[in-house]
Structure 1
Amino acid sequence: LHAFDRYQETAGAEIQRFEDLYRNVPKDHKRILERTIAYNKNFEEARSRIEINARLCKLIVNHGLEYYNITRAELSVFEKENEKTAKKPAHRSMVSQALKHMVRDYSPEGKPERDATFPYILSTISSELSPPPADSYSKGYKILLPGSALGGLAYDISLLGPHLHITTNEYSSAMNLAYRYISSSSVQTTPIIIHPYLETWSHARTRSSILRPVELYPPATTPGYQPPLLIEGDFTLSFHHQSSHYDMIATLFFIDTAQNLLSYLETIFNLLRPGGMWVNVGPLLYGTAPWLQLSKEEVVRVAEEVGFVFEES
């Protein structure tokens, strides 16, 4: 909540840092830059679009306060105390990542990435978990998606049929806040407009690619639609009471987030019922300070030692 609430200040501070650095450019170089590309206008262009993002961030905060039963006064007290002791401002990067995940999961711009990854999981579910008779939908199949982020994959799975009972899990509070908001916004008839690329100016082909707007379309629902159940928290700790509970666990861009990958593998194995399936899509792009950095071959060998039996797909 703090990071979303302070987004305009922290994102604006990053643009101000860029502008302060530009002051170091020699005057004769500035004349060339201003004459040819009007570089100085980029700062105000970015700030005006940060205001648009900030309006969405405030809506996310307001929804989060209501959902978690937190008062604005309580948040203000927390922010003041936290800002006294924090070495860095509220985590702007968390908000930036949440905005980019919105693009992946709920925008036309994110469709190529969805199309490159989602079908592997969707097709496996369709082929392996065929619908039972209509009168036994309530039994159906239990599917768990750890590392569910903004819930786009979970939503697409839910469209496969009411026989699939979906639980999602996400550790990041920023992702959970954004998901809680966007999954409640399906009544909107107009898209949500954001500018998700304002704070990183590297690797840009054009300036317009940094400043461009992206349209988000919240997930549409129909009467009787049952949304996935979100369990917030650490995947390895949040489901200890559900041993042998799930028919399938699907992981997308997830297993490389582990500090200890073996803990993930053991948790997945223990949560699956006998004969249950784990389907995984994603790279092994390890984050900061993981205890293990296994190759694909090593992941397979260790998973087999845990008890998995791999099938050709």
Structure 2
Amino acid sequence: MHADTTAAHTHDVAAPEASEEDLEQQALSRIIHAFQTYAVEAEGEVARWEKNIRKLSPELRAMVPELNNKPGHARKCIMENASFFDGLVAAALADGPGQGLDVIGRLDNQSQTHRASPNDVDKVRYVLKNLVRDWSEEGAAERAQSYGKICTELRTSLGNLDGKDGGEQLRVLVPGAGIGRLCVDIASMGFHAQGNEFSYYMLLSSAYVLNHMEKAGQHTIYPWLHSNCNQMSDSDQLRQVHIPDRAPADILKASSSGSLSMVAGDFVEVYGDPKARETFHAVTTCFFIDTAHNIFEYLDVIWHVLKMGGHWINLGPLLYHWADAHTYLPTEEMSIELPLDQVEKAAKALGFHLVRKQMVPATFNVNPRSMLQTSYNCVFWTMVKVPRPHKKPTFQAAYGINRRP
């Protein structure tokens, strides 16, 4: 199975004379470099552990002899994770020209000792946790809380059409597709699932999983290695997780008619295009709508891409991702933060009819063995596209709203 991927857009800011293609290549080069230098950055962290341990007196270290052994065990875990990322990068470079990832020339100029930014380091490590959520047995319980409910609701909403609508395969859009498990599960139901993803970290990882993982347990990773706090034991922190729990191709064998594609890029830019109008029978959003700079735009684009009578199934909280961006970014980013009742009000005004709604508990990338367990009280609703109360152009066109000042 080979995911169909188009060019992506990034948040990176560069000199005005740089072309869009140059910006894309610079961003991708930086991100691949962050994957490549994972071991260097992780070794620096373990060295810090050792430095602090050495500050303890021999008497104190003797009380907990495991302190002296942990760095050595951690280094073995780092090498396993680094080996996984090396495979991911090699696959990206091998697939590159056909996937819009032709960056080999730029990477030749990158020094392996050049430090990745703290933000890039964190995002590389975040990939490990997302792999657990989407593609491990350990993540099955968390997937059931969200993906499972969405798939059941999708079957309820569209199942009577048996994957077809007048001979046309039913198309389901999955914005914020991440590493692709929800897309694969939906495709296995007989639908055409189209995933959309903005992050190169997720795009490269999903391409590796979807195109290069052929059997269960093909890789071993250590996803919780970098979380020192709230651990029950070193063995919990340094435990291995096998991925995938099932090969994507094996999951898709459940359906002879299901299919899958991936489209890279900003959700509003890609699907706000007039050509995308009324091209999907359903949109499923899972922990996604709060990634919006302007949630009105998201609602408008979801309505735009749905066929009349199409279903929007949403599950997630309202942890608006850009709400505190002004505290860590040099430029101010737009962020509209509506409470849930006002999101529903806006959806109704923009042409949605609420069919079902409930609040359900769900976690996201939670370590099941951690002393810290965070669960969201998520809204889980199904809405149907209906004619808008008043004829008007799309919200973006009508009001000229931009996500950035």
Q: TM-score, normalised by structure 2?
A: 0.69
Name the residue aligned to 2:148.
119
Partner of 1:293: 337
- Distance in 1, matches of 2:47 and 2:197, equals 33
Q: Name the counterpart of 2:399.
A: none
1:178-212 Cα deviation digits (max 9, x unpaired): 11011123423643110011112112121111100
Residue of 321, 324, 346 corresponding to 1:302: 346
Q: Does 1:253 align with 2:287?
A: yes
Structure 1, residues 204-245: CA drift from partner, whole Å, max 9, x if none? 121111100001123233496764211111111112130121
1:89-141 superposed Cα distances (whole Å, 9 cap, x missing partner)? 68121111111111111111001101111122111211221264799786121
Higher helix share: 1
Per the alignment, residue 13 of structure 1 pairs with 44
Q: Is the contact between residue 170 and residue 192 of structure 2 (CA under 8 Å) also seen in structure 1? A: yes
Contact 2:173 2:280 in 1 (8 A): yes
Query: Does structure 1 residue 228 correspond to structure 2 residue 260?
Result: yes
The residue aligned with 2:221 is 194
Q: Does 1:284 align with 2:284?
A: no
Deviations 1:245-274, CA, capped at 9 Å, x for gaps: 111100011111122222211111111111
For 1:252, the aligned partner's letter is C
**Cα shift at 1:82:** 11
- Measured in 2, the distance between the counterparts of 1:133 and 1:203 equals 47
Partner of 1:242: 276
CA contact (8 A) 1:131 1:140 kept: no
Mapped pair 1:53 → 2:81: yes
Alpha-carbon contact 1:2-1:90 (below 8 Å) kept: no
Query: Is structure 2 residue 209 aligned with structure 1 residue 182?
Result: yes
Residue segments in structure 2 that go unaligned for 5+ positions in a row? 1-31, 326-333, 358-405
Q: 1:44 aligns with which of 69, 72, 77?
A: 72
CA contact (8 A) 1:3 1:90 kept: no
Shift of 1:42: 1.5
Instruction: Please give the alpha-carbon distance, in whole angstroms, between the structure 2 residues aligned to 1:137 and 1:109.
Output: 40
Change (3 A) 1:5 1:66: same
Q: Kindly tell me the number of residue pairs found equivalent between the two proteins.
A: 305
Partner secondary structure for residue 259 of structure 1: coil
Q: What value does the CA root-mean-square deviation take over the aligned residues?
A: 2.6
AA of the residue aligned to 1:246: F
Unaligned 5+ runs, structure 1: none
- Within the candidate set 147, 156, 163, 2:176 is matched to 147
| Range with greater deviation from structure 2 (245-254 or 13-22) | 13-22
CA 1:174 to 1:243, structure 2 compared with 1: closer, same or farther past 3 Å? same
Following TM superposition, by how much is the alpha carbon of 1:80 offset from its aligned partner in structure 2, in angstroms?
3.9
Give the 3-state SS of the residue equivalent to 1:291 in structure 2.
Answer: coil
Does 2:110 correspond to 1:66? no
Q: 1:245 corresponds to which letter in structure 2? A: T
Letter in 1 for 2:38: Y
The residue aligned with 1:156 is: 185
Q: Report if aligned partners of 2:80, 2:221 keep a CA contact under 8 Å in 1.
A: yes
Residues 246, 81 of structure 1: alpha-carbon distance in 2 compared, 3 angstrom cutoff: same
Say if 2:91 and 2:208, in contact at 8 Å, map to a contact too.
yes
Answer whether contact 2:53 2:67 (CA < 8 A) is retained: no
- Residue 311 (structure 1) aligns with: 355
Decide whether the 8 Å contact of 1:245 with 1:273 is kept in 2: yes
Residue 377 of structure 2 corresponds to which residue in structure 1?
Answer: none
Provide the TM-score with structure 1 as the length reference. Answer: 0.88
Measure, in 2, the Cα distance between the counterparts of 1:4 and 1:296. 37
- Secondary structure of the 1:167 match is strand
Q: Is the 8 A contact 2:33 2:112 kept in 1?
A: no
| Aligned amino acid, residue 278 of structure 1 | W
With over 3 angstroms needed to count, the CA separation of the structure-2 counterparts of 1:26 and 1:206, relative to structure 1, is closer
What is the SS of the residue equivalent to 2:285? strand
Q: Where do 4+ consecutive residues of structure 1 move more than 6 Å?
A: 133-137
Whether the aligned pair in 1 keeps the contact of 2:189 and 2:258 (CA below 8 Å) is no
Post-superposition offset of 1:312: 2.1
Q: How far, CA to CA, are the matches of 2:292 and 2:76 in structure 1?
A: 38
Identity percentage over the alignment? 28
Give 1:73 deviation, angstroms. Answer: 4.5
Residue 102 (structure 1) aligned with residue 131 (structure 2): yes
